[in-house]
Chains A and B, each alone.
Chain A
Amino acid sequence: MPPAPTTTAESSRAGDFARVLSRRIHEVGPLIGLVLLGIAGTYLNPDFATVDNILNVLTRTAFIGIIAIGMTFVIISGGIDLSVGSMAALIAGSMILLMNAIAESIASPVLVVVIGIVFALVLGALFGLAHGLLITKGRIEPFIVTLGTLGIFRAYLTYFANGGAITLDNEVSDVYSPVYYSSLLGVPIPIWVFLVTALVGGLVLNRTKYGRYVQAIGSNEQVARYAAVEVDRIKIATYVILGICVGVATVLYVPRLGSASPTTGLLWELEAIASVIVGGTALKGGEGRIAGTVIGAILLSVISNILNLTSIISVYLNAAVQGVVIIIVAFMQRSRR
């Protein structure tokens, strides 16, 4: 018998509203943090709020942001990937070496760049696949697998570069650099790519079977297995998605400096993970939001932007400021649990 008298339905609707409201307050924590930082930045240096500066910050955020979107899937599913910075460096280096090598035999530099881009994406997907297989079929903790590949990827890049830098040939570089430096409707290309990645990521996470399964696995892997979710395949796919995201980020990164060196992508993994967690995703998995990750990533780069635009704090304390802001934002959303 259906226990649904109308009165309770009405009262529960009012309760709904209050609950949704309180939930929203936690969700907008990082956004509030970002807005406050923006106000502080404008106050400290009026140049902060200029279109050029904002576009600069967003363009820079694009690499970490795109990686963090992939990382959101991995973390929600209960995993982690520490290798993304090294992976980006190795993909960048390999991609440059390939493009330099084929530039001699292929007449059209555009085609060289296209081949380079496809190669970067495929390589990212393959690295992600390797992670996924080692973690699911090999039954090794993701922390250990990706800590291992963190070293492996960076060592190979250093080896390829002989410890120096791998630099893209000028002719190819000229064709490629608009991918980072040019704009569409006044907005730089990396920001567009970042935006599209975020929208697609949000749609996949919240509105597809796959996204639901990712959340179910992170919430409780056993229960998901008993509910006929193909846990291994879904988990492998999260690492492949992250690998492709790293590939996309690298494709945008290479034209900026036209080179890769052993310092490329250093500590990107921590910035990406911090963006995800600051954005409100639980490190233990189960739930999270792409929009939060995007805001988290922007928040982190805004902090260093403001520090560069001012001289009020000793340069020795930059890292401390970043740490304090991260902890404050985390504090604002702590009671969710």
Chain B
Amino acid sequence: MKSAFRKLALGALVLTSLAALPAMAQSNVVLGVAIPAATHGFTGGIVFWANQAKKDLEKAHPGMKVIVKTAANAAEQANQLQDLLAVSKINTLVVFPFESAALTKPVAEVHNKGVYVTVVDRGLTDTSAQDAYVSGDNTAFGKIPAEYLAKAMNGKGNLVALRGIATTLDNERWDAFTGVMKNYPDIKILDAKYANWNRDDAFKVMQDYLTRFKEIDAVWAADDDMAVGVLKAIDQSKRKDIKIVFGGAGAKGMIKTLMDGKDPRIQANVSYSPKFMYDAIKLTGEARAKGEKLPATYIIPSVLITRENAKQFYFPDSPF
């Protein structure tokens, strides 16, 4: 598995460096980007990286037009797809679907009009509507923390988990996490409640876990925003039993804490950087400028971040 990822990543690198050469001719690529609006840290990063990609692409390819649209819900995104096609006359689309099922039909319609479609992160239910699929690795996002935690806990102890918002994405991560934990019968998952990838909700849920469970060894916060709330709740309770808090996605604040070794409970993280949005747009734009195709599926690997390699994942300019 790992070597396959590496090959793909290498391929991507080659593509990127080729694109760095000055473009030969005026490009006629009109590239539409449809992504969720910046409502929390992760989508904030998505929007940031999308705009970054627009800037770089338009600079490298005179004449190429990149139009970025952000939507607050699935219906708005479907409308934006229609507008991109009818008004902006796009011939290439990079879409981060708000919901898999709800956006499949609208994306298929755009695809049927001959537009080259790259789908990002959340797969469509009907994959024939897409030319390429670029995504983060949700399975690894659940698996890596599970493996790390199991090792750190020596295969036994009490663990509480937080979940995001009830979506397929969250379910994939959760299934991968519990799949690993099945091999460690002595690790007890006390409970897992939704905290909506939100700091405040995570604070409350953790407070109540602390009231309810007298002995907790580890927390899988499943997201760096939620980890912030979890840490504050633990600090407030002055409890010393929690030895490790595992977040996720590599937000810059958490990576910084990890790099500096400021908090003994933060020992590792797993990458799921919104930067894959940048990669997806850039790869698609460059491939199209040369009339090439992308590989059908392109998974950006999630990797374990520890103190040693944290520096590579630290982007101080990104909001995330």
Contact = CB atoms under 8 A, between A and B. Distances in A.
Contacts of B140: none
B208 interface: yes
Contact of B198 (A162, A263, A318): A263
Interface stretch (A67-75, A140-148, A200-208, A308-316): A308-316
B263 interface: no
B212 A164 contact: no
A181 B163 CA distance: 26
Interface in B176-223: 191-194, 196-200, 203-205, 207-209, 211-212
Given A47-B211, A318-B194, A304 B204 contact: yes
Q: Size band of the B side of the interface?
A: 35 or more
Nearest to A318: B194
Given A256-B203, A259-B199, A163 B194 contact: no
A219 interface: no
Interface string A294-335: 000000000011001101000110100000000000000000
A161 B319 contact: yes
A92 to B, nearest CB: 11
B320 interface: yes
Dominant secondary structure at the A interface: helix
B286 interface: no
Contact of A259 (B47, B211, B228): B228
A45 B225 contact: no
A165 B225 contact: yes
A309 B200 CA distance: 17
A150 B44 CA distance: 19
B229 A257 contact: yes
B211 A56 contact: yes
A316 B44 contact: no
Contacts of B212: 45, 47, 308-309
Q: Is the interface of B mostly helix, strand, loop or mixed?
A: helix
B63 to A, nearest CB: 29
B157 interface: no
B14 to A, nearest CB: 31
Given A158-B38, A161-B44, A309 B232 contact: no
Contacts of A165: 41, 199, 225, 253, 319
A9 to B, nearest CB: 54
Given A163-B47, A163-B48, A165-B253, A262 B193 contact: no
A164 B319 contact: yes
A60 interface: yes
Interface in A249-307: 256-257, 259, 261-264, 266, 304-305
A163 B207 contact: no
27 contacts: A45-B212, A52-B211, A60-B207, A158-B38, A158-B39, A158-B44, A163-B41, A163-B45, A163-B48, A163-B319, A164-B320, A256-B232, A257-B199, A257-B203, A261-B40, A261-B44, A262-B38, A262-B44, A263-B40, A263-B196, A264-B200, A305-B204, A305-B208, A308-B209, A309-B208, A315-B163, A315-B194
